[in-house]
Amino acid sequence: MKSIGQHLFLSCVFLCCLVNPSYAQQGQTDPLNSPMWEDMRRSLLGGAAVVFDDRVQVLAPVDAEDSMNVPVLVDASALGEVSKIVVFAELNPIHKVLELEPLQAKPIIGFRIKVQQATPVRAAALAGDGRWYVGGRIVDAAGGGCTLPSIGSENSDWASRMGEVAGRLWSNQDSTRLRMRVMHPMDTGLVPGIPAFYIDHLEFHDANGEILSRLSLHEPVSENPVLTLDLPRRDSVTVVGADNNGNPVNARFLPGKHEVEK
């Protein structure tokens, strides 16, 4: 009887894990103790079970001096194979910041974000074993970064430079680092009279047209986005993308210099 009871108990536990994935992570508590975590897990990760793991590094200032430009670096390379990284700021009015498909690149991305108030900033990395691994930290800020107008939207000549790209490549033995800036207001749509207007996708190609990495951006990314990626070693990199109004973003980079196409 005892063995039958144990068998039934284990069967119930197994079924609970299948029906409710969060049951599988009950042994882990949210290290940031955020009231929004379960909502984020359901809405952005499909309710999947996750592993909180320090190998997913989120580097950002503890105290943000400028709530409209908070530098963030996400590095999930310690996990090995990673197919997707989702970055989100839980207490922002718009949570999702960006989504990176590394493809041939390293699962590393540098960028800047707007924050509305003190918030957990997290990165969830989908690893080769099919599980989500999550890292993050709390960023303190004076607030208001998402509901202030962009500097560009108040400048009469900003349209003449919109979509302008600047940047550079640095290569070592096995990779090429790209650091680039795109002139764009990245309006959140939360300022009265100013609709959402932001770059929403970028692809990174080599000289043969092969896709090296793919990036989706969202409204919380800072004005004039500055992005850093570690791509496979190539002699040139072409960036192709557009904003949510269909305005193109095109540029071709060579080591040590850049050539811009609009």
- Between residues 97 and 163, which one has the greater pLDDT? 97
Return the pLDDT at 259: 53
Q: What angle do CA 67, 101, 220 make, to 5 degrees?
A: 20
Domain ranges of the chain: 1-28, 31-260
CB 259 within 8 A of CB 251: yes
Distance in angstroms (rounded) separating the CA atoms of residues 259 and 225:
18
Q: Which residues of 95-130 are buried (b: 16+ CB within 10 A; e: fewer)?
A: bbbbbbbbeebbbbbbbbbbbbbebbbbbbbbbeee
Q: Which of 24-28, 71-75, 83-87, 108-112 has the lowest mean pLDDT?
A: 24-28
Return the pLDDT at 52: 98
pLDDT tens for 15-50 read 334 444 433 444 589 999 999 999 999 999 999 999
CB 128 within 8 A of CB 119: no
Biggest CA-to-CA distance, the chain: 81
Return the pLDDT at 172: 85
pLDDT tens for 185-222 read 999 999 999 999 999 999 999 999 999 999 999 999 99
Distance in angstroms (rounded) separating the CA atoms of residues 129 and 88:
22
Q: What is the pTM of this model?
A: 0.87
Fold (topology level) of 31-260: Immunoglobulin-like (2.60.40)
Residues 6+ positions from 130 with CB-CB distance below 8 Å: none
